[in-house]
Amino acid sequence: MPEPLDAALTEVRALLLDPSLTRAVAAGRRRGRHPMVIRAELRPVTLKAGPRLQITTSDGTRPYTRNVATGPETVQAVDELLAEPFGNWHVETADATLQLRVTKSGEAQVHRAATARPAATPGGNDRAKEYLLDPGDPIFAEIGGSAAKRRQVDAFLRALAATLPDELTGPLRVVDLGCGNAYLTFAAYRYLTSRGLDVHLVGVDVREDQRRRNTELAQRLGWADRVSFVAGTIADAVVDPSPDLVLALHACDTATDEALARAVRWEARWVLAAPCCHHDLAKQLRAHPAPAPYELLTRQGILRERFADVLTDALRAGLLRVHGYRAEVVEFVDSQHTPRNLLIRARRTGSGATEPQRAEYRELVDQWRVKPRLETLLAAAEESAS
């Protein structure tokens, strides 16, 4: 529910001046207005001279940090920042977390949550599991808050946090290809905006009923102007402008290849893909004998299926490297929660692969006599572009 902006900023001011402040971030811009800096982060620090409020601002080229004495100097610095037309505020204190977003109409969309308290662990240690998204965040009331889902959300957000640079500022365009019921889509938006980023996110799914459901949820959360959904295939859905970050989580079989191919064509800066159901190469491996001396790898059906999984993702990572990405395959969620627990994480470098790297990929493909779907899609895209 939108609130008057002045009243919401007054609440933000009180939290910024509260002795229990732990961190605050201001970023983004209001419609038609531009703040003097694109991002500001505030946090209390203790120096030899005493307690200070550390304020780090960025103009997009480099950060500038100053330590402000408590008292009138802090009040003045806070009021100056609140006067800037930032589009988002994220404030954390020892007791509460507040997220404020200024809507196109100039009102405030505010989410408030209590800070999660440490939970006792077996054995008497009072160590809390630190979640990147507060388990008490109101978003879980909408997307579902089971323990398993929160673990998966946290695992995904940690992978996302490890992919994006800490100093990232400015607008960020995100697309989630094959988003399904979009609970990770919404969690990604919530987390990224909590970092003070100006995020526009598009979810793509082939089912029209999913598009309607997800759109209604975005409206209930007050995010409809920043989070939208389209019905269409991963290969053909219209997404404009091109995204900076591409997500493809549990897209089945060659749908992951279609998502990776689109990411490469878009020249997306970052890609996170959690593959699922590697049927394509498994079928190709059944069509002919394995090269010597690897017959034992594929003679048994269960081993052939698992080897096909490994080979598929290894070749995907190799192809991404050939097309200017630094790619790595990491664990996504602990295997006790799901057997489909690998994540392809890629960052665009813009530099092509070396000839030995290209030869390494080609030798592996030729030896196993397979034709990866991703290679076919990328070759078709290059041919159509020429």
pLDDT digit string (tens) for 88-116?
Answer: 999 989 888 899 999 989 999 998 887 65
What is the Cα–Cα distance from 277 to 342, expressed in whole angstroms? 12
pLDDT score, position 294: 92
pLDDT score, position 125: 42
Per-residue pLDDT tens for 30-66?
A: 988 889 888 898 988 888 788 899 998 887 666 788 9
Residue 63, both tokens: 């950060």
pTM of the model: 0.70
Q: What is the mean pLDDT of residues 288-316?
A: 92
Cross-strand bridge partners of residue 199: 172
pLDDT score, position 284: 94
